Chains A and B, each alone.
Chain A
């Protein structure tokens, strides 16, 4: 995780486009620095607090085993959340990720059982591209709200899974299971997969024209379109990128589970959890602000929390209460300084209120 932590704080892409509205759309990007720092500070605070509480209870928190567990628990949610960041940045949303994960593990495990690992990886990524493309086209082409479009896609995938699979299926060869179980020193191999995917996504969003377009589209679709951004295409690509990340998560889970499971994605509520992690990481749900670095922080906070709960053997129902409070409180805390200066400015001259 140190690699990610030491990643340079994103300073926002240089405004190459000279168009006025483009500038306006990009202005918000610079503001996104604060939440990233905020969420990593929060992660640090949760870790320290957890360490104090667990130690006070007679446990030991900062052990290698525990650190490994925390990192390991980041991977699946991290991969999904990185993908989710891409769509949310663009002003869209993906609620179909949970079922895509389930289907992905099934396709991966079944293909690996009959064909080879490479074929399986290609098959899963192809499936992901197809689903992402469908999501994107429904959102942009049919003008269906992303919430409904991807929820509908979730139902479609669910029916497909339930009609074709009656339980865990397929088998993952031991060689591929190493992705889920091996580690280099204290760091699980899969964490490198997460770092690699996150790094690629960070490069795409921060260092490419496509990335600028994503921020611009999410910030103000209308203004972006006026300044020549093909917003429709950008949204479609964001959905494809998201689904590819989800495909990677499915491959990782297949490696870890050793088989495909129809409820691999749904029982863990990856749809809502990933959105929570993204927002926890300071990305605005409406798009245009935030980024991958913050999302990883959000995922890390949730993983540390889980570990603390584990150490303290907290009642699972009470755990949900605390998670709910933490998610709301964290967003409330760093939503505040970012917005407060905005309000008076926007209301200048509005004396009647």
Chain B
């Protein structure tokens, strides 16, 4: 929680006039923060090649991407929320609830078209995000608590409704998206991942994306510049919820009904985003790097699995690598910043008068505009 206070003054001044900020600088800066994750990904992919030369055969590699797809989509959604200065801890619960609800729906309506069920899930996920967003922005509850509560509520409600376990089976048509392939070789999950990834990049390139980053940088400055902070943040939560619902469709498709389909996904998604050099507290980082972070994490899981590291020690290795990678990212980035900062600019005085807490999740209140 101390890292966000390192936000450079360049970012601050850019945020002040966010809508007109030079896109070029922003992209360079975004790439800068992402460099460590691309390196990490490259190292991991290389290690995978050494471990298992067969990994890069089209089938194996596509199946790897297919498995990574839910996490990548979750990371993209989580990025939107994190970059505007919030958290979404409820995504794991949305995945679990999504799978359980889909199975329950099929229990009652076995002939429902898969598109209808998928659409219902996406809308429901967006709705959960809308509620989290409104509670966070309008009621000014820190998003950590909002989404923690939402996590308890969703999991509890889904299982309370189904009496502990869902009654239906997910039919083949619904599971195609997570399990099947297009043209006999391209997994639909990879297509979904590409579509979601492209959409996320387009969102971030749009005006909305810029206001999102500006809001995370300093919601007060953004509000002064005319950003409707409440609306921007709420939309980010809606998108994150919908992304989680899409991930639920993929996970449910990939592995079928399970009562713990989404367990641990919230932390994995946040870890992926931070691995991608995105700062918790908002305002900095690129969505592509966040998705690369998700791929890195999945590559790490696969590597650990292929290595045959003693099953029990896997967690330890994972913990060390994540800490080291983020530490490397933080250090590397700081150095870059110092190179770029013109000499003699002195210590950045970034604290506007009256602001006691320039960063963090509590600043969620926006302008009632």
Contact = CB atoms under 8 A, between A and B. Distances in A.
| A and B form one complex | yes
Interface of A: 24-25, 27-28, 91-93, 138-140, 142-149, 151-160, 162-163, 219-223, 231, 235, 272, 275-276, 279, 284-288, 315, 317-325, 327-328, 331-332, 335-336, 339, 343, 345-347, 350, 352-353
Contacts, number: 225
Contacts of A321: 152-153, 156-157, 160
Contacts of B365: 339, 343
A332 B140 contact: yes
A286 B225 contact: no
A221 B326 contact: no
A324 B150 contact: yes
B18 interface: no
Given A152-B323, A152-B326, A317-B160, 13 more contacts: A143-B331, A155-B315, A156-B320, A159-B316, A159-B318, A159-B319, A286-B1, A286-B361, A321-B152, A324-B152, A325-B153, A339-B365, A350-B223
A286 B359 contact: yes
B148 A221 contact: no
A34 B325 CA distance: 41
Interface in B227-259: none
Interface string B1-20: 11111100000000000000
Contact of B152 (A231, A315, A327): A327
A285 B156 contact: no
B280 interface: yes
Contacts of B224: 347, 350, 352-353
A155 B322 contact: yes
A332 B135 contact: yes
Contact of B156 (A163, A319, A331, A346): A319
A27 B369 CA distance: 28
Q: Would you call the interface of chain B mostly helix, strand, loop, or mixed?
A: helix
Contacts of A147: 1, 270, 274, 280
A352 B226 CA distance: 6
B interface residue count range (under 10 / 10 to 19 / 20 to 34 / 35 or more)? 35 or more
A325 B153 CA distance: 7
Given A152-B319, A155-B316, A28 B356 contact: yes
B110 interface: no
A221 B155 contact: no
Interface in B102-153: 135, 139-142, 144-146, 148-153
Nearest to A273: B148
A266 to B, nearest CB: 12
A279 B142 contact: yes
Contacts of B327: 138, 142-144
Nearest to A285: B142
A225 B178 CA distance: 51
B354 interface: yes
A158 B334 CA distance: 31
A345 B322 CA distance: 41
7 contacts: A144-B330, A162-B315, A285-B144, A335-B141, A336-B139, A347-B220, A347-B367
Nearest to A163: B312
A285 B311 CA distance: 35
A162 B312 contact: yes
B227 to A, nearest CB: 8
Contact of A276 (B139, B148, B274, B350): B148
A310 B318 CA distance: 39
A317 B157 CA distance: 7
B209 interface: no
B75 to A, nearest CB: 14
Given A25-B356, A93-B1, A346-B354, A327 B160 contact: no
Contacts of B156: 317-324
A346 B220 contact: yes
Contacts of B270: 147-148
A151 B271 contact: yes
Contacts of B171: none
A332 B271 CA distance: 28
- Give the one of B224, B323, B368 with max A CB within 10 A: B323
Given A143-B330, A288-B357, A346-B354, A163 B316 contact: yes
Nearest to B369: A353
B27 interface: no
